[in-house]
Amino acid sequence: MAKFIVGLTGGIGSGKTTVANMFADLGVDIIDADLIARQAVRPNSNALKAIAQHFGNDYINEDGQLNRSLLRRNIFSHHDNKLWLNNLLHPLIRQNIVSALAASKSVYCLLVAPLLLENQLDKLVKTVLVIDTSEALQLSRTLSRDTSTKKEVQAIINSQISRADRLAAADHIIDNSNTNFDSVSQQVITLDGYFRNGQLARIDKLN
């Protein structure tokens, strides 16, 4: 994979999708690890059949889709089950990510992955872009968009790398701690210019 790949990550509710869409509008190919993960457990897939066999048919909805909320509650309460699920899915997801990256046609591409650092997917990229916001905003944004409880969202935050460690691993940081769309858009445009030229250094080291 010789292509220039940017790894985009951030905690839940940080605004990764919003920022990724801005890059997409600039003609950048987006490889979404979450979407690939969903495809891995599509109805009638081998992975979904293995999940049903391990956890029970209650984890499959009537339409054949994975009951994600039920599975999420289980794995955040039972470490062994989370480990089993990771061992099942991570190799498959990683293989599909590599294939998608290789098929990308844009000058550079984005690998959008919430667990980029935790799952060592950063080894597939040339530079790491972190979308940063406070934990309080992560909570409020996530609770406003889906049906998860505050306890469930907090469990997800706690399971992810700490904000400090994520920022320490970043080559570039977009501050998404407010609702100033124009400010975030300008940061994306600036970074797009750097990435098109293969720029690796952090923005604060370029001045």
Q: What is the pLDDT of residues 135-150, one digit of tens each?
A: 787 777 777 777 777 8
Question: In the chain, what are the domain boundaries?
Answer: 4-205
Task: Mean pLDDT check: name the lowest of 9-23, 72-86, 121-135, 168-182.
Answer: 168-182
Backbone angles phi, psi at 188, to 5 degrees: -65, -45
pLDDT above 50 for 207: no
pTM: 0.84
Q: Classify domain 4-205 by CATH number.
A: 3.40.50.300
| C-alpha distance across the termini of the chain, in Å | 30
Q: What is the mean pLDDT of the chain?
A: 88
Predicted pLDDT of residue 153 = 79
Predicted pLDDT of residue 140 = 78
Query: Given 3-state DSSP classes, what are the helix, strand and coil percentages for the chain, each rounded to the nearest 5?
Result: 55, 15, 30
pLDDT above 80 for 89: yes
Predicted pLDDT of residue 143 = 78
- What is the three-state SS of 125-187? CCEEEEEECCHHHHHHHHHHHCCCCHHHHHHHHHHCCCHHHHHHCCCEEEECCCCCHHHHHHH
Query: How does residue 200 score in pLDDT terms, banded at 50, 70 and 90?
Result: low
Mean per-residue pLDDT, 31-59: 94
Distance, in Å, from the CA atom of 13 to the CA atom of 176, rounded to the nearest integer, reads 10
Predicted pLDDT of residue 113 = 95
Mean per-residue pLDDT, 48-62: 94
Query: How does residue 14 score in pLDDT terms, banded at 50, 70 and 90?
Result: confident
Strand order of the sheet with strand 29-32? 29-32, 108-112, 4-9, 127-132, 172-175
Question: The dihedral of CA 127, 128, 131, 132: what is its sign?
Answer: negative
Query: How does residue 84 score in pLDDT terms, banded at 50, 70 and 90?
Result: very high
Q: Give the torsion through C-alpha atoms of 31, 35, 37, 39, to 10 deg.
A: -110
